Structures are given as C-alpha cells and as structure tokens.
Amino acid sequence: MKKSLIIILVLIMSVPVLSACWNQKELTDLAFVMALGIDRGEDDLYHISFQLVNPGNVSAGQTGGGQGLPIAVYKSEGRTVTEAARNATKEVSRRLYYAHTNLVVISEDVARDRNLMLNLLDAFARDPEFRTTTELVIARDSTAEEIVTTLTILDKLPVTKVTKEIKFTEAMKGENKSVNIDEIIDGITGNGKEPIANGYRLIGRKEDASKATNLQKTTTDAFLAADGLAVFKDGALIDWIESNNARGIIWVLDKAKSTDITLKWKGKKNALSIVPIRSKTKVSTIFKNGKPVINIKIENEGWISEANTAINLMDPKTILKIEKLTENEIKKEVKSSVKEAQRLRCDIFGFGDLVHKANPKVWRKLKGNWNNNFADIEVNVKVNSYVRREGVRTNPFWSDINK
C-alpha cells in the first residue's frame, strides 16, 4: 500500500514536466510572415498585406531554390489589426506566425493619421509573438502593398533586400538609420525627443514589380530604394527630410559611420571626395540666463578617395585647407538639418532629454511647450576634421604627364 502511494505521488509530480509541449506548433501548420504592409482602406479600415515565405523555393543561401516564387502575398481588411489578421485565415491554409517578421511597411496615409498610427503600434507592442525590434519603414508615393509585393533579383526574399539595404546605406551613405518599432514607441511616449523613420519608394514600372518576369532580367523594371527620413510629431508623420539634411541628422545622432563629402577646389566643382573612416559626435548643453544652449562637437577622420584636379597632396598646407573645407561642409549640413527641424518645431535630436538631465528644474518649466522652445534654442556646431591618408597614392597619376 505504501509503495503504491509513492508511485502515485511520483506520477502526479511528473505531470507538470510531461505537459511541457502543450503549446507546440508543427512547422507544416505555420505560415511564416516575413513582412507586413499596412494601408488605409475605405472607411478607415486597415488594409494589410502579409508577405509569406515559400520555404521550398528559397535555399539556405538564398541563391537557388525551387522554380516557384520565393514569396506569396495575402491581403485582408479589418476595423482593427486583430480583425484583419483573423480575416486573413479565410484565405491562408496555415496559421500566420509572426515571430520571424523582419519588416513592417506603413503607408504615408496611415502614418499621417495619429489615431490609426497609435492603434497600430499598440497592437504590435501588445502581441507576445510579435517582435518590437522589427524594422519599420514608411512607403513614399507608393502603397505599402506595392512595397511588400515587389520581387527582387539579388536577394530572393524582398524583406532581406530592404533590411540589408537600410543597414548598408546607413553604413556607407549616412542618410538613413535603422529604426525599429520599439524606437518609434519610445520616441512617441518619451519626453524631449520625437521619432524618425526611413522612407521607402518603389521606382520604375510599378505594374511589373510583382511579376515573375522581374526576376528574369539583369536589370529590373521596378526596384525598391531608401528615400529620406520621415519626421513624426505627437505620434503622426508631419514631413520629410531629404539627402544632405537627412545626413546632418545622422551626424548629430552620432550614427554617421561613413559617407562621401564632395568638395570644390579652386573654383572646380566635385574636385575632391573625402570619405570619413571614424566619426564621433558629442552633444552637450549649457545655460545662459536660465536658457539652454546646445553645443554639438564632431570629431571626424577621413581619407581622400578622389582627386579630380591638379593638386599637391604632399604639401601639409594643402591638407590643412582640405581639412578646413571638410569641416565647413559638415558644419553646414548639421546647421541646415537643425534649422529644418526647428522649422518643423520638432525635436528629433533629443535636445530636450539633454536639458532634462542637465537641469531638471529648468526642464519642468520648458517641457510643456518644448517643441516651440526647441524652435528658438541656440545651437552651436564645432567640427574638427582630419585627413589621415590619401589612398594608395598621393598626387593624381596624370599630374606628371605633361611635364
């Protein structure tokens, strides 16, 4: 009797361990959602496009695979994101699975509507299966559906093309910055900083972007490209910042890894190209007469990647002049981007957060109307730039031809 009781107790204690697979998911029952496109339908319905991967058509290296298309896109509508997702199950034979979603594309129409945008972000942040580290971009002059249905030739999965493109253009051009859902939410809910997001555009013949023939050419009829930074205020998109002004923002945010700076030399345009190899930005605040003043200091090191003019790069004085020109160019871009943000009355740099940390008492007086105070704040920019090398040669190879 005692032995039987012990056996029963052991079995009862083993039940929690044996039930560990109660929530298992079979791979054959799952549809992996790689990207979501959010558009505005009629009567403010969410029109959602689900980019699903076709595993049999995508090899491990994404360079081979089957003969079919690498993705399938299903669409549905709903008054809420949840309703739209549930409605999609009427068309998809598997359970939609979001743990591998790497990209969310939001149309400009949705992004400009504060209520739609906030409700959308709440749905993403609330779902335990959805990762808020997912990249978020805004579709420009295109629908989100067009972005997620475009087929790409170099990367079999379009979502891979977008996320990698943002990563490399951030590193090489410095006009874009990887932004995820968490960062957008933090910017909306935090004090003293508004969020930004990358813009994305479909260029070319849009009607051919989702056709299989787009994969059968060395040059496609339509392709995706990063384009500008979307500026948010109070939870909604208010405007766009382009090219050099966008690069100025990246300088201030200390996210500039590399780019190309083109200089004029003795009246000749595009004479020199300078490529930064290291850059560090430090932003601080001081107070004058009780008012905050922002100081931006940038330390930059670069090399001369092109010299398209007669120039003596062996002369230290010439190098000093090039360094000064580079400093002036960076300073001009940064000041221009700050003025643009002040015109929009939108602190996308986080200056308010610096004021808060430096002097909480002053911040309490300013935070209620911070974006308007930000528009009038004094901002000083100082740049130190150094040329560390001139490439594998000094003077242009053709400089001695006519001597």
- Is the pLDDT confidence value at 309 over 70? yes
Domain identity same for 300 and 379? yes
Per-residue pLDDT, 400: 63
Domain identity same for 152 and 283? no
Domain identity same for 35 and 183? yes
Residue at a domain's end among 241, 260, 286? 241
Strand, helix or coil for residue 319? helix
In total, the chain counts a number of residues equal to 403
Domain identity same for 81 and 212? yes
Q: Are 318 and 272 in contact (CB under 8 A)?
A: no
Q: Are 143 and 50 in contact (CB under 8 A)?
A: no
Task: Return d(Cα 146, Cα 37) in angstroms, integer.
Answer: 8
Residue at a domain's end among 208, 241, 274? 241
Strand, helix or coil for residue 310? coil
Q: Is residue 18 one of the residues assigned to a domain?
A: no
Strand, helix or coil for residue 235? coil
Per-residue pLDDT, 397: 67
Q: Is residue 21 one of the residues assigned to a domain?
A: no
Domain identity same for 143 and 42? yes
Per-residue pLDDT, 257: 87
Domain identity same for 227 and 269? no
Q: Is residue 139 one of the residues assigned to a domain?
A: yes
Task: Return d(Cα 55, Cα 43) in angstroms, integer.
Answer: 36
Per-residue pLDDT, 210: 80
Per-residue pLDDT, 24: 56
Q: What percent of the chain has pLDDT over 70?
A: 88
- Considering only CA atoms, which of 208, 318, 322 is closest in space to residue 264? 322
Q: Are 381 and 329 in contact (CB under 8 A)?
A: no
What average pLDDT does range 364-371 have in this prediction? 92
Domain count, the chain: 2
Q: Is the dihedral of CA 295, 301, 307, 309 positive or negative?
A: positive
Cβ neighbourhood burial of 109 (10 Å; 0-12, 13-18, 19+): middle
Q: Is residue 20 one of the residues assigned to a domain?
A: no
60: domain range? 27-241
- Is the pLDDT confidence value at 318 over 80? yes
Per-residue pLDDT, 295: 98
What average pLDDT does range 343-363 have in this prediction? 95
Q: What is the CATH number of the domain that holds 374?
A: 3.30.300.210
- Is the pLDDT confidence value at 107 over 50? yes
Residue at a domain's end among 200, 217, 241? 241
The number of angstroms, rounded, from the C-alpha of 10 to the middle of its chain's C-alpha atoms is 54
Local confidence band at 282 (pLDDT 50, 70, 90 cut-offs):
very high
Condensed to tens digits (0 to 9), the pLDDT of residues 127-155 reads 988 999 999 999 999 999 999 998 888 88
- Is the pLDDT confidence value at 7 over 80? no
Q: Are 291 and 317 in contact (CB under 8 A)?
A: no
Q: Are 98 and 58 in contact (CB under 8 A)?
A: no
Task: Return d(Cα 136, Cα 194) in angstroms, integer.
Answer: 15
Q: Which amino acid is at 196?
A: I
Domain identity same for 187 and 119? yes
Strand, helix or coil for residue 167? helix
Domain identity same for 158 and 299? no
Domain identity same for 126 and 224? yes
